[in-house]
């Protein structure tokens, strides 16, 4: 909630992000290692995303990168990997000491996210791709993917990037233990979708969590031309004037 709006699920305003990160003791020069726990989210729950801790960690990483934190990392496999390695865990809360100067203007890296007007430009461009990191059922409009999104379908002209089976699983980007797949496996998946490094790519999902994971993978693989369409299907489908498609693409 500190980094995302609970209404749109988009990143918060630059000033809100600055205040939130400073309150957690994070400046641009802080090394931040994020992790979560995968808890088999159920879309019938009122708040299924609350169980998608590892996705949430990667989403937070993308927002911190956007704000300007220079060294953001993800614990590969999250809390599960830590426990499997035999390290201790604790149940007490640790509270950070706030800082009063983030150290740079926010956002320092505005390229991490694009918004809806830019997404529309991506669709029209010959050297840019808007990539749907959603399940096939979401992409063809069988399901919306979320209990709070009513409209089903996809953004016309978007490329199917294939993440996994539903809105809270990323099997095609992760191993069974939720560690990240080897880079050549992810690279092959992107290439099979025609997503080559010479193209400018913007990943989107429902609200930005899966899009952020696909973005983070591509970024770590050395692709400098990647972003997240922050609004995703949620923002796009909420505007009745925006076109959408269902069924298998031609």
Give pLDDT tens digits for 154-178.
999 999 998 889 888 889 999 999 8
- Which pLDDT score, from 0 to 100, does residue 32 have? 98
- Which pLDDT score, from 0 to 100, does residue 162 have? 86
CA 96 vs. chain centroid, Å, equals: 25
Does 205 participate in catalysis according to the annotation? yes
**Is residue 152's pLDDT more than 70?**
yes
Where exactly are the structural domains of the chain? 110-238
Nearest 5°: the CA angle 185, 199, 55 is 50
**Is residue 93's pLDDT more than 80?**
yes
Confidence band of 51 (pLDDT split at 50, 70, 90): low
Burial tier of 91 (Cβ tally within 10 Å: 0-12, 13-18, 19+): exposed
Confidence band of 50 (pLDDT split at 50, 70, 90): low
Residue 183 to residue 110: CA distance in whole angstroms: 25
- Which pLDDT score, from 0 to 100, does residue 193 have? 87
**Is residue 48's pLDDT more than 80?**
no
Condensed to tens digits (0 to 9), the pLDDT of residues 107-140 reads 999 999 999 999 999 999 999 999 999 999 999 9
**Is residue 31's pLDDT more than 70?**
yes
Nearest Cα residue to 131 out of 180, 73, 178, 186: 186
CA 94 vs. chain centroid, Å, equals: 26
Across 209-229, average pLDDT = 94
Q: Which of 205, 214, 218, 226 is catalytic?
A: 205
**Is residue 44's pLDDT more than 80?**
no
**Is residue 233's pLDDT more than 90?**
yes
Residue 21 to residue 17: CA distance in whole angstroms: 6
Q: Give the orientation angle of helix 53-67 with respect to helix 14-23, to 10 degrees.
A: 110
Q: What is the mean pLDDT of the chain?
A: 93
- Which pLDDT score, from 0 to 100, does residue 4 have? 95
Helix extents (H) in 50-207: 53-67, 78-84, 116-124, 136-139, 183-192
Query: Does the structural domain 110-238 have CATH classification 3.90.1150.10?
Result: no
- Which pLDDT score, from 0 to 100, does residue 168 have? 84
Dihedral pair phi/psi, residue 219, rounded to 5°: -65, -45
């Amino acid at each position: 909630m500190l980094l995302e709006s609970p209404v749109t699920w988009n990143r918060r305003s630059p000033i809100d992000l600055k205040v939130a990160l400073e309150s957690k003791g994070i400046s641009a020069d802080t090394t931040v290692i994020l992790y979560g726990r995968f808890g088999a989210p159920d879309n019938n729950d009122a708040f299924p995303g609350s169980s998608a801790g590892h996705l949430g960690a990667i989403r937070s990483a993308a927002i911190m990168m956007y704000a300007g934190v220079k060294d953001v990392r993800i614990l590969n496999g999250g809390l599960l990997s830590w426990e499997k390695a035999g390290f201790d865990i604790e149940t007490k809360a640790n509270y950070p000491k706030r800082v009063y100067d983030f150290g740079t203007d926010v956002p320092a890296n505005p390229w991490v996210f694009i918004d809806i007007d830019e997404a529309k430009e991506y669709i029209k461009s010959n050297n840019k791709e808007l990539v749907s990191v959603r399940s096939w059922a979401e992409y063809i409009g069988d399901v919306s993917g979320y209990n709070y999104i009513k409209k089903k379908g996809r953004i016309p002209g978007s490329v199917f990037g294939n993440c996994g089976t539903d809105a809270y699983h990323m099997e095609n980007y992760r191993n069974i233990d939720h560690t990240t797949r080897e880079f050549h496996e992810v690279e092959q998946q992107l290439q099979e979708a025609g997503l080559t490094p010479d193209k400018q790519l913007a990943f989107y999902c429902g609200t930005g969590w899966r899009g952020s994971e696909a973005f983070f993978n591509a970024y770590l693989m050395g692709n400098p031309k990647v972003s997240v369409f922050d609004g995703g299907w949620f923002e796009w489908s909420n505007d009745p004037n925006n076109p959408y498609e269902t069924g298998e693409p031609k």
